[in-house]
Chain A
């Protein structure tokens, strides 16, 4: 299957002044995105306690793509020190993420400013 997700990594500052790692996704997120997304997350591991996932550039996410995000949240939960927030989802995918309960484990924010203010 063709990989159609581009993943970028950058850092910024949260409201409390700490460093926040931002993983930005562009394109579609499906099962083919697993290595790209989890690979980027694994490169952060240990070096980042606050992580934001930026979906602003994402056009489409299927259930296999959502499962990749759940896998990441599961791994972050196991560290006991990492917190992950999400921003930039379209209203439709905010609804879908809420339907499956992701919002219980990662706060959903409208945009980056709101997400950073919450950290």
Chain B
């Protein structure tokens, strides 16, 4: 998370966008540990950073089968009425906080979530 934030700062992203990225990467890593690797401490989570002139891409890779679900909008009313689990907001937050979020399924070590933030969004 800190490394992604440092790279984003070097690329010129604003403090606000860096906070967005930090939260999105943290949520992706938590999902990878809890759901992908199923809390198996012998498995690793990989975080790959790559950049172009105008974007920063982060891939978070785990040993699970990948995510089948799509991010759902958080229904706070249902949560507040006990009709759905108060948890389960990670994918929503990831998608809401970055410019692009994709979940890829694959064999162990090949499933990943790809997050992208773009510099051209800075002035919008």
Contacts and interface: CB of A to CB of B under 8 A. Distances in A.
A92 B92 contact: no
A102 B23 contact: no
Interface string A53-78: 00000001011101110110110010
Nearest to A70: B86
Nearest to A105: B80
Given A77-B80, A91-B16, A92-B23, A62 B74 contact: no
- The size class of the interface chain B forms with chain A is 20 to 34
Nearest to B76: A101
Majority secondary structure, B binding face: helix
B89 A100 contact: yes
B89 A67 contact: yes
Contacts, number: 61
B119 to A, nearest CB: 19
Interface string A26-66: 00000000000000000000000000000000001011101
A63 B76 contact: no
A10 interface: no
A67 B80 contact: no
Contacts of A102: 76
A60 B26 contact: yes
Contacts of B87: 63-64, 67
A27 to B, nearest CB: 15
Nearest to B81: A74
Q: Which 6 A-B pairs have the closest CB atoms?
A: A101-B76, A92-B19, A67-B86, A70-B86, A63-B89, A67-B87
Interface of B: 16, 19-20, 23, 26-27, 30, 74-77, 79-82, 85-90, 92-93, 96-97
